[in-house]
């Protein structure tokens, strides 16, 4: 996420890539998200040297680290192609860029899916909520630490826009960071998975297996599934539409150097961590999941309004403060959305439903990356190149509208209706299986 933000800013602001090309390329990382089902199945059935999870975590980590290193030359090849203006060169390099991000997404899926399966393997039903909470908090802390580290490491790039100087510096930086990330991945998983042993909780029940056709029949059996799927699409899109352009907003409107714009993610991350903790320990237990989700969404819309107003002042300190509030809102809304995801899931087919909710989030993040860049280009066309604030505000205002739509959809979600519809359908499916 942090690397993507830095590369977004460099491609859009320093190298002047069309924003839709940047957003479209990054969208391919999320469009391959359905592969998570495949990698989960492979890790279940094809152990390597007696271990089902960690070998695939290592392979996926090696893959995305290698592709992160390869991203630098591909980006600058694309830059040279855009400078030449040759249709064939531009098309070929754009396809190469999109292919690289798609392969990066596959590597991420290969690493993260077995990792989450390993978490399930090593915990029982009582331990899993705590484990998931710790993982989310540590993920957020990692984003903050990574953003600060990258900010310090990229200070030498401040004010540099010459591709001849940028490319070798970024290449060395990416090689070193990728090596460190891969070593952390190896050492963090050492000894976690026993060799040749079935890791399962003695307290957990074996899920009833049903075929793909029956699973799909179950998914479409309740209108509530479609409603909540729609909520996740709009909520995630409203949260991440500005993701591919945020650092460019800091660069073009506030004239911040690269080392400063990378810190925007750090402030957002700190706010998210605080929001997750506050919502989990205080807000959700007091007012419930639905009201907490609405509070978080309304805070997101307020933060986006403040982002637009902040651009008028061009006060960078105010920008960082608003990003902290935006992260706080994101943390509160995310905590309640995750809790609702667990409620809107049948234990017998938990993997199927979690996969559906994960697919909704992945698709909306892909749309956010694609539309964020495209809408910025449209805003520039409508408002003119002389006023970048108008172009960025155009994206933020649309994001506000999308988040309000998500709130309206949430009003129609009912956990009780979901359980009645899906439980009845599940009983019919199981009875049909027994008859056969």
Determine the pLDDT at residue 364. Answer: 84
29-79 pLDDT, tens digit each: 777 877 776 777 677 678 888 787 889 999 999 998 999 899 889 888 888
**Ramachandran class of 191: left when φ > 0, alpha when ψ lies in -120 to 50, beta otherwise:** left
- How do residues 214-236 score in pLDDT, each as one tens digit? 655 766 777 888 899 899 999 99
**More confident of the two residues 418 and 155:** 418
DSSP string, 327-348: HHHHHHHHHHHHHHHHHT--GG
Which carries the bigger pLDDT value, residue 203 or residue 373? 373
The set of residues, in sequence order, having a beta carbon less than 8 Å from that of 424 and lying 6+ positions away, is 221
Other CB atoms within 10 A of residue 359 CB: 18
| 205 has pLDDT over 50 | no
DSSP H or E segment with residue 293: helix 289-313
Asked whether 429 and 355 are in contact (CB, 8 A), the reply is no
Q: Which of 148, 345, 347, 383 is nearest to 252 (CA)?
A: 383
What is the phi/psi pair of residue 51, to 5°? -120, 135
pLDDT tens figures, 128-145 = 555 655 676 777 677 667
Query: Domain 2-191+210-435 has what CATH class?
Result: mainly alpha
pLDDT at 337 (0 to 100):
84
- pLDDT digit string, tens, across residues 85-100: 888 888 898 888 889 8
Residue 349: its pLDDT value, please? 58
Region of poorest pLDDT, from 22-26, 84-88, 164-168, 298-302: 22-26
| Mean residue pLDDT across the chain | 80
pLDDT above 90 coverage of the chain, percent: 22
Greatest mean pLDDT among 4-8, 356-360, 361-365, 390-394 lies in 390-394
Distance, first Cα to last Cα, the chain:
48
């Amino acid at each position: 996420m942090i690397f993507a933000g830095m590369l977004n800013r460099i491609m859009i602001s320093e190298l002047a890539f069309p924003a839709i090309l940047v957003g479209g390329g990054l969208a391919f990382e999320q469009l391959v998200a359905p592969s998570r089902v495949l990698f989960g199945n492979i890790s279940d059935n094809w152990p390597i040297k007696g271990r089902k999870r960690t070998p695939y975590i290592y392979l996926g980590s090696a893959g995305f680290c290698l592709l992160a290193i390869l991203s630098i030359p591909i980006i600058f090849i694309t830059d040279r192609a855009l400078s030449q203006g040759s249709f064939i060169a531009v098309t070929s390099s754009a396809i190469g860029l999109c292919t690289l991000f798609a392969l990066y997404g596959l590597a991420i899926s290969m690493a993260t899916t077995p990792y989450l399966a390993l978490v399930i393997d090593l915990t029982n039903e009582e331990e899993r909520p705590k484990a998931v909470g710790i993982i989310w908090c540590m993920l957020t802390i990692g984003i903050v630490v990574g953003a600060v580290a990258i900010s310090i490491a990229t200070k030498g790039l401040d004010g540099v826009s010459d591709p001849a100087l940028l490319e070798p510096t970024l290449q060395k930086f990416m090689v070193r960071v990728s090596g460190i990330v891969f070593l952390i991945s190896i050492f963090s998983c050492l000894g976690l998975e026993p060799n040749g042993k079935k890791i399962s909780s003695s307290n957990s029940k074996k899920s009833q297996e049903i075929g793909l056709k029956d699973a799909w029949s179950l998914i479409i059996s309740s209108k509530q599934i479609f409603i909540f799927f729609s909520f996740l699409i709009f909520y995630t899109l409203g949260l991440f539409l500005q993701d591919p352009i945020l650092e460019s907003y800091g660069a073009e409107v506030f004239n911040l150097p690269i080392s400063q714009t990378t810190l925007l993610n750090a402030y957002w991350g700190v706010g998210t961590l605080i929001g997750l903790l506050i919502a989990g320990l205080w807000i959700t237990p007091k007012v419930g999941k639905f009201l907490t989700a609405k509070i978080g969404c309304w805070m997101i819309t307020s933060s986006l309004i403040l982002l637009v107003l902040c651009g008028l002042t061009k006060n960078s300190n105010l920008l960082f403060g608003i990003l902290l509030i935006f992260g706080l809102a994101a943390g509160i809304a995310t905590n309640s959305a995750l809790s609702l995801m667990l409620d809107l899931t049948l234990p017998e087919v938990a993997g199927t439903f979690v996969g559906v909710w994960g697919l909704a989030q992945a698709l909306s993040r892909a749309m956010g990356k694609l539309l964020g860049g495209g809408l910025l280009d449209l805003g520039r066309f409508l408002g003119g190149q002389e006023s970048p604030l108008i172009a960025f505000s155009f994206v933020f205002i649309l994001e506000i509208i999308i988040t309000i739509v998500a709130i309206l959809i949430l009003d129609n979600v009912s956990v009780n209706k979901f359980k009645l519809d899906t439980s009845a359908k599940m009983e019919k499916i199981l009875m049909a299986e027994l008859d056969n």
